[in-house]
Structure 1
Amino acid sequence: MLDISVIILTYNEEVHIERCLNNAKRFAKEIFIVDSYSTDKTVDIALSMGAKIYQHPWENYSKQFNWGLQNLPITTEWVWRMDADEYLSDDLINELHQTLAKLPNSVNGFTAPCLRVFMGKYIKHGIIPLILLRLFKIKYAQCENRFMDEHIQVTEGRVENLKNPFYDDNLNGLTWWTTKHNGYATREAIDLLLTEYNLLEQGTTANSGSHSSAVRQKKMKYIKMPLFWRASAFFFYRYIFRLGFLDGKEGFMWHFLQGWWYRTLADAKVYEIKKRFGWNDERIKAFIKETYLDK
């Protein structure tokens, strides 16, 4: 096994956890689960498979993951951040074995492409793969504190790119998916407002990879577009111009739900807050600070 520990945050993941752990065992020396007091069989399954379980109350993803980095008895040099509904491709596991065997000390992190599987179908068209920093040396990294799209950041050293992908493949149904994305839309709306009003923490020199930086720059352009129009334009760009329609019914549902419905819902929540405070920027900023930052 490689000198890697895997950290997985869980809450009621019995449908995914066995697949996830079987995959992690193929490359990781140790597997740690930080569980938010699951009420299903997640913990029992994980214990039976040899994972090390720690439980901690949930606040948000950033705080939960950083709690794990600071409190788990990790002895390996490297950590892979893994969600319960993810798994690494065979090619990526082979690449990890080859890459870590001949690595200069100046490299402290790696990104890898994340590909989407939706309703059992790989979504090949319409979206550019996310390139996420998932492998890092523990003493140089932390999870940034954001409401949405929290990235691992490496505080010094180089970040290199792994070529082969891992997969995001959630096995829950559409009712679960839409309920979860309703919660995501609230977080996305707050993140959009924090960014629009320049209320996010500034001045960090940490590195999440060049792709993450490029995505954040595109998000800044997205924020400057008109509410609702931007979500519709985003859907048509993905589904028509980037050929999302080639992935059949599953592709339509993915791009419609994730590319239009979810982002329209986030815009509706932005609109709701702005309307509530009479479109007054100072009142809106005061509300955001008091409700989401001053805690």
Structure 2
Amino acid sequence: MLDLTVIILTKDEKKHIARCLECVNQFASKVYVIDCFSTDGTQEIARSYRAEVLEHEWPGNQAAQFNWALSNLLITTEWIMRIDADEYLLPELIDELKLKLPSIKKGINGIVFNRRHIFLDKWMKGGIYPVKILRTFRNRHAVCEQRLMDEHIVLTDGDTMDFDNDFCDHNLNNISWFCKKHVDYSIREAAEMLDLEYGISKSNDTVNKLSTQALAKRKKKMAYARKPLFWRSTAYFLYRYFLKGGWRDGKEGFIFTFIQGWWYRTLVDAKIFEIKRKCGDDTEKIKTVLQEEYGIGL
């Protein structure tokens, strides 16, 4: 087994957790499941695959939950991997890990993988593939940045290297679940977009420590935040569907790009529009509405 610990955050992941653990048990020395009091038997399934399960109350976002794990688990391995319960590594990436990880030179403290989105059991080759994301890092050399949305693992020192192969984001829930998830995400995304526009939180950003693609994505998001409401969501859909080739993925590609690339982005803009109607450009009023109506503090 590799000198590597895997951390998985869960809440009612009965549909996915066995598949994920079957994957990581092929290479990880230790697997922790940080559960938030699941009621569907996730914990029992995880223990049956020899994962160590710890319960921890949800602190409000994934970044805080993952950083709690980094601070409180007794991790003795050289490397740590973050993976979600609905994700798994392809066999080619497992082989690449086994081949390369033991000999990575000092100073390389993060590893970037390609992420595939599998939607309705079909690989979304067009639109946004490949998403490059840092998911493995040396112990004590990285944290998860504290953001409402689009949080990334960031290195505290050292450099990253890219691996060639893919892991998959393959959720097995239905489209209603997929839409509800994006409804829940939309107010957090709206709050972050307002923060980008007005600089409300005045928090110290960590963009200098992001991987190359994550940094490029963050810059694009900042540029997107300056574009007109509603126009930008439509332009983004057209860009992903036509210019980036989402149309090549058939009906599944249309549904995926429509929901994630237009409907969701338009819903975010609608919530921003609603908040601005109430508050104008008054940042203190915006902060108050976000806190009192949505429980989001900036």
1:246 and 2:248 are equivalent in the alignment: yes
Offset at residue 192 of structure 1 (A): 0.8
Equivalent residues in 2 for 1:84-233, closer than 5 Å? 84-198=85-199, 199-202=201-204, 204=206, 207-233=209-235
Q: 1:193 to 1:278 in 2, by over 3 A?
A: closer
Aligned length: 294
**CA distance in structure 2 between the partners assigned to 1:265 and 1:62 by the alignment:** 24
**CA distance in structure 1 between the partners assigned to 2:23 and 2:148 by the alignment:** 29
**CA distance in structure 2 between the partners assigned to 1:128 and 1:197 by the alignment:** 31
User: Is the 8 Å Cα contact of residues 155 and 206 (structure 1) preserved in structure 2?
Assistant: no
In structure 1, the partner of 2:38 is 38
The alignment's C-alpha RMSD in Å is 1.6
Offset at residue 154 of structure 1 (A): 0.6
SS class of match (2:30)? strand
**CA distance in structure 2 between the partners assigned to 1:64 and 1:200 by the alignment:** 23
Letter aligned with residue 259 of structure 2: L
User: Is the 8 Å Cα contact of residues 5 and 81 (structure 2) preserved in structure 1?
Assistant: yes
Which of 285, 290, 296 pairs up with 1:292? Answer: 296
User: Is the 8 Å Cα contact of residues 149 and 192 (structure 2) preserved in structure 1?
Assistant: yes
- Can you list the C-alpha shifts for 1:58-102, whole angstroms capped at 9, x where unaligned? 021111000000111211111000000000111111111111122
**CA distance in structure 2 between the partners assigned to 1:279 and 1:206 by the alignment:** 29
In structure 2, the partner of 1:275 is 277
SS class of match (1:166)? strand
**CA distance in structure 2 between the partners assigned to 1:132 and 1:204 by the alignment:** 15
In structure 1, the partner of 2:57 is 57
Offset at residue 130 of structure 1 (A): 1.4
Letter aligned with residue 89 of structure 1: L
**CA distance in structure 2 between the partners assigned to 1:236 and 1:70 by the alignment:** 43
Q: 1:194 to 1:279 in 2, by over 3 A?
A: closer
User: Is the 8 Å Cα contact of residues 208 and 215 (structure 2) preserved in structure 1?
Assistant: no
**CA distance in structure 1 between the partners assigned to 2:271 and 2:211 by the alignment:** 30
**CA distance in structure 2 between the partners assigned to 1:239 and 1:206 by the alignment:** 30
In structure 1, the partner of 2:2 is 2
User: Is the 8 Å Cα contact of residues 156 and 206 (structure 1) preserved in structure 2?
Assistant: no
Offset at residue 285 of structure 1 (A): 4.9
**CA distance in structure 2 between the partners assigned to 1:14 and 1:200 by the alignment:** 39
SS class of match (2:9)? strand
In structure 2, the partner of 1:82 is 83
Mean CA deviation greater in 125-134 or 111-120: 125-134
In structure 1, the partner of 2:262 is 260
**CA distance in structure 2 between the partners assigned to 1:74 and 1:226 by the alignment:** 47
Letter aligned with residue 29 of structure 2: K
Taking structure 2 as the reference length, the TM-score comes to 0.94
